[in-house]
Amino acid sequence: MIIGQFNDSFPPITDGVASVTLNYAQQTGRLLGPDGKSYVVTPSFPKFTDDYDSIEVLRYYSLPVLFRPPYRLGAPKLDWAFQKRLNEIPFDVVHAQCPFGSAKLAQRIARRRNIPMVASFHSKYYDDILSAARSKTVSKWILSYLMQTYHNATEVWTVNDNTIATLREYGYEGPVRVINNGTDMARTSPDNRRGPAARAVAEELGLAEDQRLLFFIGQHIWQKNLKMMLESLAILKKRLQEDEPGRQPFLMVFVGSGDAADDLKEMCRKLDIVDEVRFLGVIRDRVKIKGFYERAELFLFPSLYDTSALSIREAASSLCPAVMIEGSTTAEGIRDADNGYLSANTPEAYADRIYRALADPAERLRVGISAQESLYRTWETVGAEVLEEYKRLIAEHKGRG
């Protein structure tokens, strides 16, 4: 079996869909072994070399997206060598992980070779389009164009049941298959909650044993509801200082990058929380990231934009409860004070939920254990499920002639 994953983002870009694409490709490639091959088709990235053991990455000519670094705008029609190589590959199934330029390549291959195409719906694309276009009319037209990817697919997949409602809102009325995401992180034992990786993070940050650590990892963009989160941290600081004068109330660590990073830092200055918040940029060391989850009291993720954040499962692997917004798409399956924490979408409510969670360490551990039991799922498990679905699709497609 020859499988092609098509996406406009891929490492070194570190968003969730890039991670899904990488893990789908790697896990299916390992399972196929010598009996098949797994490809990733994606825009080029300057000064980056792909080095993977179970997949082949095909890059095509691209230009920087000036308003949204580090993303790239692919121009495959200008890359003749790429086009020749792509046309030589006898794909059995192609999978568009986004509705952008790479998806058009997947559609073309599926049509020419008469093979099935899967299209996965990962993001609330309208929010991104509106942020860039700043016109509802233009944004709706662009969204309608992008939705053709899903209308033309053999099968549409998404990451949870809540996201199906967004697909319907965007005009897709066909069947949808749910394939939950996974994580590459191992389970943390409750007996070793703060192991070597957590201790290394604490040492690097200069944290005392009893110092509270809050954590966020992801794109630094306004769509993630980070303005509300920073406002809640200012409220939390005042409340904790009233309880414990003279003690640093908490340290909040941001990992990642995005076009709002500088504005977020300026907002911290205006809110007088500079001493409590650190921005560490992009960290690619997965052991170190695991250490942040293990050392943190709570993982803060107030996003209304995400559909099924990989970071929630990463946090769960490390027994780190997430604080999320009640009713948000990515909070599907989260029960307040059971396997996570839920809050209304206001700075006051979010600050209060964090405050109450910090006040009860025993409950936090119980919630963390429940999160691990209910949310943890490995990419190996996902890969095996995905490969079986591809086999089914190929057989059904051949059966239809």
Q: Write out pLDDT tens, residues 59-80.
A: 999 999 988 889 999 999 999 9
Global pTM reads 0.92
Angle between helix 196-205 and helix 286-295 axes, rounded to 10 deg: 80
N- to C-terminal Cα distance for the chain?
A: 18
State yes or no: pLDDT of 338 exceeds 80. Answer: yes
* pLDDT value for 26: 98
Which three-class secondary structure string do you get for the chain?
Answer: CEEEEECCCCCCCCCHHHHHHHHHHHHHHHHHHHHCEEEEEEECCCCCCCCCCCCEEEEECEEECCCCCCCEEECHHHCHHHHHHHHHCCCCEEEECCCCHHHHHHHHHHHHHCCCEEEEECECHHHHHHHHHCCHHHHHHHHHHHCHHHHCCCEEEECCHHHHHHHHHCCCCCCEEECCCCECCCCCCHHHCCCHHHHHHHHHHCCCCCCCEEEEECCCCHHHCHHHHHHHHHHHHHHHHHHCCCCCCCEEEEECCCCCHHHHHHHHHHCCCHHHEEECCCCCCHHHHHHHHHHCCEEECCCCCECCCHHHHHHHHCCCCEEEECCCHHHCCCCECCCEEEECCCHHHHHHHHHHHHCCHHHHHHHHHHHHHHHCCEHHHHHHHHHHHHHHHHHHHHHCC
**Does 37 or 134 have the greater pLDDT score?**
37
Inter-residue contact 320 to 198 (CB < 8 Å): no
Cα pseudo-dihedral 133, 136, 137, 143, rounded to 10: 70
Query: How far is 56 from 353, CA to CA, in rounded Å?
Result: 46
Q: In whole angstroms, how large is the CA radius of gyration of the chain?
A: 22
Q: Quick one: what percent of the chain has pLDDT higher than 90?
A: 93
State yes or no: pLDDT of 276 exceeds 70. Answer: yes
The CA distances from residue 307 to 123, 160, 166, 301, 311, in Å, are: 6, 8, 9, 12, 12
State yes or no: pLDDT of 239 exceeds 80. Answer: yes
In the chain, the domains with their CATH numbers are 2-182+379-399 (3.40.50.2000), 190-375 (3.40.50.2000)
* pLDDT value for 397: 94
Task: Kindly state the average pLDDT of the residues 365-369.
Answer: 98
State yes or no: pLDDT of 110 exceeds 90. Answer: yes
Q: Identity (one letter) of the amino acid at 205?
A: L
- Other beta carbons within 10 Å of 174: 10
Inter-residue contact 214 to 300 (CB < 8 Å): yes
Lowest mean pLDDT among 23-27, 130-134, 280-284: 130-134
Inter-residue contact 376 to 316 (CB < 8 Å): yes
- Other beta carbons within 10 Å of 46: 9
Task: Kindly state the average pLDDT of the residues 85-104.
Answer: 98
Cα pseudo-dihedral 277, 281, 284, 286, rounded to 10: 0
Identify the band that residue 307 occupies on the pLDDT scale cut at 50, 70 and 90. very high
* pLDDT value for 385: 98
* pLDDT value for 401: 65
State yes or no: pLDDT of 262 exceeds 80. Answer: yes
Query: How far is 153 from 167, CA to CA, in rounded Å?
Result: 14
Query: How far is 294 from 288, CA to CA, in rounded Å?
Result: 10
